[in-house]
Structure 1
Amino acid sequence: MSWVVSTQPQTVSTFNAAADWSSGICDCCQDMNQCCFAFWCFPCFACKTSKDFGQCLCLPLLDVFGCFIHPITMSMRVSMRHVYGIRGSLCDDCLCSTFCVSCVWCQMATEIKKRQIPTMLSDIISSR
């Protein structure tokens, strides 16, 4: 039995216009709770951030197999840029993921927080 694919899946982008990250790579201390969590228990923080983005909880733990470059951190950053329509380049993602791993995860966690849109029916009804 053979399967015929008539259309290929398309990527889904929630934001059309290209934007910048909502926080800088060194702005991890703006949210002190997040900063302390990332500093004191980085593996747990990275796993929680990965889960919040809709990926496998234990995915960041695979970064231990990368010697110098952290492949999971870089791929999560690239994926987040594509999903949220954030400007950037693969070179920037590679450099940040190599030299500022904890800062990258804090930046991604902040982005997830700021991009989550609460769905409240009462706000929609009261605005009419």
Structure 2
Amino acid sequence: MPRRMTATKEGTHQVLKNSSFESLVVSWLMQDGWQVFVPILDNGHQTDILISDGPNYHRIQVKTVEAAGEDHKLENRWRDSSVDVVVVFARNANWGYIMPAFTQNQRRLNAEGHQKFLHTKKSFLKAFHKL
């Protein structure tokens, strides 16, 4: 059985974890019937995932946070972009939030209009459909 025998650098390990959350969102949306596109490079556009139902396209930014609670304040790092939806995973818990992109400098995860989900496809899609 294959085993990884080399150490992974801390920064690299964090990038791998963040990418795994993006892959979860891609998988769950594809299973829901969306066409999913992943930019080769999202630098400048702040788009991790682009989805389409055919005529409509939506830009998604995926974030991960170390949240002490659901009132954690998320910093807006997609300002001046065309992001439509932000998906936030709490790395240190089994929940996250889906929200429309906002223009303020920061906003609480559990602000009005944000949809909480558990780290499961069913819970994620239920919250996603409420947007």
Q: Give the TM-score taking structure 2 as reference length.
A: 0.27
Greater relative contact order (Cα 8 A, min sep 6): structure 1 or 2?
Answer: 1
Rg: which structure is higher?
A: 1
Which structure dedicates a bigger proportion of its chain to strand? 2
Which structure dedicates a bigger proportion of its chain to helix? 1
